[in-house]
Amino acid sequence: QKEVEQNSGPLSVPEGAIASLNCTYSDRGSQSFFWYRQYSGKSPELIMFIYSNGDKEDGRFTAQLNKASQYVSLLIRDSQPSDSATYLCAVKRDRGSTLGRLYFGRGTQLTVWP
């Protein structure tokens, strides 16, 4: 089982809709969770991080974490065509021999159509 699993998509939503991106992870020792956005031909850029159960909101973005279910999600409200990108879920371990290492999912490709 891969460390971090994401639906590869593509996910296609109309402009103004809510886009929901999901991610599961296998290691219960994981402590920190990150969402990166990557435009085609560019490097990943950090959107949000979360490390406590519940929701964390930042503008149109909401990250949700459920450690019991080993599940983290990203909601994008009022989706815009400029949100079209690949979204990478990443999980970080903060203990043991793999201290500080980030494990990435394969990414979900999102298309927002006008």
Residues lying near another protein in the complex (CB under 8 A)? 8, 31-32, 34, 42-46, 49, 51, 88, 90, 92, 94, 99-107
The answer to whether the beta carbons of residues 71 and 24 sit under 8 Å apart is: yes
Question: Min. distance of Cβ 4 from another protein in angstroms?
Answer: 9
> What is the spatial distance between Cα 82 and Cα 106, in angstroms, rounded to a whole number?
21
Q: Which C-beta is closer to another protein: that of 68 or that of 99?
A: 99
Length, in residues, of the chain = 114
Name the nearest CA neighbour of 112 among 94, 89, 86, 92.
86
Q: Which C-beta is closer to another protein: that of 65 or that of 76?
A: 65
Question: Min. distance of Cβ 75 from another protein in angstroms?
Answer: 19
Question: Min. distance of Cβ 102 from another protein in angstroms?
Answer: 6
The answer to whether the beta carbons of residues 49 and 75 sit under 8 Å apart is: no
Q: Which C-beta is closer to another protein: that of 85 or that of 88?
A: 88
Question: Min. distance of Cβ 106 from another protein in angstroms?
Answer: 4
| Alpha-carbon distance values, 110 to 9, 27, 37 (Å) | 7, 26, 10
Q: Which C-beta is closer to another protein: that of 17 or that of 22?
A: 22
